Structure 1
Amino acid sequence: MKKSLLILSLITLFLGFKANAQHEQLIKRGDYTLVFLNNSEIITEELSQNITNTFFEVYPKMVAEYNPDATKKVTISIDINYKKVAISGNGKILLGALWMQQHPEDTDLVTHELMHIVQDFKALGPEWLIEGLADCGRFQYGLNNAAADWSLPSLSSFHSYKMGYRVAARFLLWVNKYKESTTIIQLNTALKYNTYSADSWKEITGKSLDELWALYLQNKDID
């Protein structure tokens, strides 16, 4: 989704959410502020607290490592009318209440979305890469991945880095471990400042993207 359309969609969703809002909390811990909105009675207080704790535990660490200039104030909304899983942008995260009710252990869904907020990319790069980097953030900082049965998948013959998310994250972590330990940070920086191109891989690692994938197929261990 183009950035302008994404922001417009978020504005529309949040305006609708505010109209139906039942509960709003403003929570401040140190330099960070969370605006927590919930218009659903199906979300337990325990789950709301776990989401809040996830924000304050992981977000400052992400900001420190990837983007010290990222916003220190984030809005997390849970909306009974939002039928998808999650969307984020412009310092706001919208979560589907039904998804969270059915998957109460999936609180690191918030960690993934917080990574997008920290990234604050100036232009849209390849979607597979953006989502793969966000799942790298979930893998690195996630607090409840095991309980949510979330993990990086074993490499299969039908996989491609273009699948994004966990498949791409596993590949990116492999590149970071075996080829260049700053690959993930450098890719995030290149996307943030709109300097990313197909040549970025060779500039960072000395290998093209497809050359790296071929090597990954031969040595796929990241443990």
Structure 2
Amino acid sequence: MTILKVILIAIAAMLGFSSADIVVYTSAGYKLTLVNDDINFQQDTRQRCIDTFFATMPAMCNRFNNAACSRDVRVTIDPKYDAVAYASGNAIVISANWLRNNPQDTDVMTHECMHIVQSYPGGAPGWLVEGIADYARWKFGRNNLAANWRLPDFDRNQH
């Protein structure tokens, strides 16, 4: 990134304008609006996130909740968000810092997309909601091995 671009982004931010890079991608009836608020977001990580969305979202919708599944999802890469990620409605927020420090962990997208597929009205136990999303990541994930992610080993005493 050039120094001029950084200066222009800083001036725009001071004037209240967003420096977000917003791109809409569509494929096979699915729409991904990617809002990138991180000027340092790596292109290869971005492309893996996009590829992961279009590979896993349709597969999970078809398998679990095809009739009610949202096919229009907004994903924001947020440098101010300090946890990993969350989904709400048809929107996902992913920590830019998480992706910067864990660039192979693009299946965080798979996990969060499963929450959109679930689209529970509320009241479902957290362990069930998260457990199903982890199962979907395990089943449909594309890069879990490289991200060093796996389901925990079964423990008869865990609850």
Measured on the aligned residues, the alpha-carbon RMSD in Å equals 1.3
**Aligned residue pair count:** 142
The residue identity in structure 1 corresponding to 2:56 is: V
Structure of higher RCO (CA pairs closer than 8 Å, 6+ residues apart): 2
The residue identity in structure 2 corresponding to 1:112 is: H
Q: Provide the C-alpha distance between the structure 2 equivalents of 1:26 and 1:143, rounded to a whole number of angstroms.
A: 22
Over 3 Å counting, the alpha-carbon distance change for 1:21 and 1:154 in structure 2 is same
Corresponding residue for 2:46?
A: 48
Corresponding residue for 2:146?
A: 147
| 1:35-61 deviation digits (Å, cap 9, x = unpaired) | 001111221011001000000000001
Is the 1:21–1:37 Cα contact (8 Å) retained in structure 2?
no
Is the 1:74–1:92 Cα contact (8 Å) retained in structure 2?
yes
Q: Normalising by the residue count of structure 1, what TM-score does the alignment of the two structures yield? A: 0.61
Is the 1:22–1:39 Cα contact (8 Å) retained in structure 2?
yes
| 1:44-83 deviation digits (Å, cap 9, x = unpaired) | 0110010000000000011111111211100111011111
Match of 2:23 among 22, 25, 36: 25
User: 1:12-91 to 2 correspondence within 5 Å?
Assistant: 20-68=18-66, 69-91=68-90
Percentage of pairs with the same residue: 33
Q: Provide the C-alpha distance between the structure 1 equivalents of 2:31 and 2:92, rounded to a whole number of angstroms.
A: 14
Corresponding residue for 1:135?
A: 134
Q: Normalising by the residue count of structure 2, what TM-score does the alignment of the two structures yield? A: 0.85
The gaps in structure 2 that reach 5 residues or longer are 1-16
Decide which structure has greater strand share: 2
Corresponding residue for 1:94?
A: 93
Is the 1:37–1:78 Cα contact (8 Å) retained in structure 2?
yes
Q: Provide the C-alpha distance between the structure 1 equivalents of 2:133 and 2:123, rounded to a whole number of angstroms.
A: 14
Shift of residue 156, structure 1, vs aligned partner: 3.9
Deviates more, 1:118-127 or 1:151-160: 151-160
Is the 2:24–2:33 Cα contact (8 Å) retained in structure 1?
yes
Q: Which runs of 4+ in 1 moved over 4 A?
A: none
Decide which structure has greater helix share: 1
Instruction: Classify the secondary structure of the residue corresponding to 2:52.
Output: helix
Is 1:117 paired with 2:116? yes
The gaps in structure 1 that reach 5 residues or longer are 1-18, 161-223
Shift of residue 158, structure 1, vs aligned partner: 5.3
